[in-house]
Structure 1
């Protein structure tokens, strides 16, 4: 594990911001590292405001999208809201469909079957729309590359509005409107929205034309916050505002589907991490194990008791998902060991029987053991389908583009992507992908890295600092929880392995004469000997709070320890 201390900003910058905000230089340093250098920027960071959301009409084609929807309503057309089967897609479909149904009845939803139809807009979905007299499809979290599908729909007199956030290809679909802040010709001020976020901008634009304010749309932000957390988009700009207020909705007046998930979790207050690890996997499990429709039913259910029943079913799907995940990961690790080559730059594995719904999770698990760009393939009809995951700093989407001659289709982001290919292309693709990564990955990206914001002494960890750091939330990409390193720390004899398989480490750390702190190191059970040696060591950690029987105390979340 590499420890990398981030460059410190210029001392005069730190001093200036520290004085302007009346905060410790350490806090000013952390803010500057996040691109916050002025009083006004700090005010926006610490006090997110819905007033700072951008005008939705700044997004290319937004006017066309709203006009087409209003025309459909005026002419009593049937509208189909179509979205992907993951969290971002199902929340987006739930958001847009539930909003439209408050003003218009002829609205239906469609989630493609992960196994029969695959990712994104499907010909089967368009045929379903045609059979049911639909003349307008609103596609969410997908469609930016669906040139053939949109043309097919047009031949059946069905219009499309695309609401996506993935990178476009060379040609845009011939839709009535293509809403995607990553379009080269779109000058919307913020291009890191998730699919559900783009859907929210659409209803924000519609609401403006109907005299609604942003306060009228607050109830939809629980869905947006869940999508932002699950899709691992940067928690900056608009995403920070939407996540901040979305978490407030989740914790105060969530829709019945999310309320049911919260109720079954028996947890009182949710932060972004809880959304990532409790709510998102359960919504995802519906599409992974059964069908994404189950997630939309849950998230649009008006009756709480019925929502609890739906949530209980999804809880079972999630339990099944965990079992499959564990089983397939074990099989994949065995396959890697069997075919292990010392200098492999990638992991590419295949088994025809692996469940398509969990191969993305398995790819992430494999990176925990073999830190390199990873693709997990399974059989899907006459083709092979796969999920790719990457290591920090390496763009797997770009790598797939370089190997695209071997692929039928692909799409995704820098760190996560999906693809299909013909069976006979598998070996050629595997060779090409290995060579591409070998040629392009920087040597340092082949070793896991912990980025450290600052070196501090335990004496600096005060209740005031802890309170201020809590105001940095919600955490996520581009605004991760601050990471610190402390030197010459000792454990006071409490070091012990805990948890299943003794995988975790519990400590009580001291540094010199300063106050000691309880600490927990998840996945660090193997480092117990270093801590128990009674010799000073360095520790990398985040500062957390631990609540026990009503009492709140500082707890260090240890990320690594070293001599």
Structure 2
């Protein structure tokens, strides 16, 4: 399911008043259009949220034969269907996604922010843009080339305080609903951050709260990363066109570097793009690293636990990674494309 363009999750007994909120959280986590469906006997209904560039209403309209009713707009929609049609709907909407150029989630930045200029006067500027709502969202500010100097769990470990610094100016930001084990950045990383500014009055003193909305490595070339991610996704969804299979076959040195790194840290719980950075690889190497991981998982050289963490098994036998199904398929596709 993790390689599907559109996520469709379903379950019994989920309260229909919260499925939209859950869909929003899943979009935030996975960066993909998502529909959450609650099942009540023979009937089911769900709510969906999308990302910029993917018209959710057009997508579900394409699948109307599976639905009893639907409605919505570009970024949000509601559906009704028979329980027996859920799998058909899941397949249909993903088939539709294969016919268009799927976007990647984009973080819009309204204003570039100088860290030295963050003060309560900026709150007055933000207030002039109110009222905020669906057609007028709160402004997002960009902090660029910032160094992570500290990461502290707060709120019983449910949130993080992330200290960012540039040119001697240090800012405290807060990342809600993120535990330290899921935060892929470490002290010393140079990052770009998308933040929101909100007033915080304590003991009669007004301060600026900086809410960390999104964060990425400063030197990550996103176009190269997204291209490589798309190629790997096409491969894992069984496609044989739309990508150059030879570019996904990992070099022996790359596979060895991935294995040694995961063995050295004990457990890797973060995304593949961050792993590329830790290995000093380029963004376009994402596909090769992802294929190397998949091959080692298939052959038992690596294991993935219930929390998606990667580790080296305590006991393993010597194997030929070229026998991994993903590498055999890539080799066959490369031979076919050569003719």
Normalised to the residue count of structure 1, the TM-score between the two structures is: 0.35
Give the structure 2 partner of residue 472 of structure 1: 129
Say whether residues 1:451 and 2:108 are aligned partners. Answer: yes
Q: Is the 8 A contact 2:54 2:103 kept in 1?
A: no
Give the structure 2 partner of residue 520 of structure 1: 174
Describe how 1:161-560 pairs up with structure 2 within 5 A.
Answer: 340=1, 342-380=2-40, 382-440=42-100, 442-445=101-104, 448-490=105-147, 495-500=151-156, 502-514=157-169, 516-526=170-180, 530=185, 532-533=187-188, 536-560=190-214
For the pair shown, the structure with the greater C-alpha radius of gyration is: 1
Aligned equivalents of 1:352, 1:521: Cα separation in 2: 32
Q: Is the 8 A contact 2:120 2:207 kept in 1?
A: no
User: Structure 1, residues 538-557: CA drift from partner, whole Å, max 9, x if none?
Assistant: 33322322211111122322
Q: Would the alpha carbon gap of residues 489 and 374 (structure 1) be closer, same or farther in structure 2, given more than 3 Å must change?
A: closer
Aligned equivalents of 1:490, 1:423: Cα separation in 2: 50
SS of the equivalent of 1:411 reads strand
Question: If each structure's strand is expressed as a fraction of its own residues, which one has the higher value?
Answer: 2
Cα deviation for residue 471 of structure 1 reads 1.6
Cα deviation for residue 525 of structure 1 reads 4.4
Q: Is the 8 A contact 1:509 1:517 kept in 2?
A: yes
User: Structure 1, residues 65-96: CA drift from partner, whole Å, max 9, x if none?
Assistant: xxxxxxxxxxxxxxxxxxxxxxxxxxxxxxxx
Question: If each structure's helix is expressed as a fraction of its own residues, which one has the higher value?
Answer: 1
Cα deviation for residue 453 of structure 1 reads 1.9
SS of the equivalent of 1:344 reads coil
Normalised to the residue count of structure 2, the TM-score between the two structures is: 0.55
Q: Is the 8 A contact 1:517 1:554 kept in 2?
A: no
SS of the equivalent of 2:98 reads helix
Give the structure 2 partner of residue 219 of structure 1: none
Q: Is the 8 A contact 2:69 2:79 kept in 1?
A: yes
SS of the equivalent of 1:452 reads coil
Q: Would the alpha carbon gap of residues 417 and 528 (structure 1) be closer, same or farther in structure 2, given more than 3 Å must change?
A: closer
User: Structure 1, residues 156-199: CA drift from partner, whole Å, max 9, x if none?
Assistant: xxxxxxxxxxxxxxxxxxxxxxxxxxxxxxxxxxxxxxxxxxxx
Q: Is the 8 A contact 2:41 2:83 kept in 1?
A: no
Q: Would the alpha carbon gap of residues 460 and 402 (structure 1) be closer, same or farther in structure 2, given more than 3 Å must change?
A: same
Describe how 1:102-181 pairs up with structure 2 within 5 A.
Answer: none
Q: Is the 8 A contact 2:120 2:206 kept in 1?
A: no
Cα deviation for residue 522 of structure 1 reads 2.0
Cα deviation for residue 491 of structure 1 reads 5.3
Q: Would the alpha carbon gap of residues 469 and 353 (structure 1) be closer, same or farther in structure 2, given more than 3 Å must change?
A: closer
SS of the equivalent of 1:385 reads strand
Q: CA RMSD in A?
A: 2.9
- For structure 2, the residue ranges without an aligned partner over 5 or more in a row are 219-339
User: Structure 1, residues 455-488: CA drift from partner, whole Å, max 9, x if none?
Assistant: 2322333443331222212223342222222333
Aligned equivalents of 2:149, 2:18: Cα separation in 1: 42
Q: Would the alpha carbon gap of residues 550 and 371 (structure 1) be closer, same or farther in structure 2, given more than 3 Å must change?
A: same
Q: Is the 8 A contact 1:352 1:379 kept in 2?
A: yes
SS of the equivalent of 1:366 reads helix
Residues paired across the two proteins, number = 216
Cα deviation for residue 506 of structure 1 reads 1.5
Aligned equivalents of 1:537, 1:386: Cα separation in 2: 37
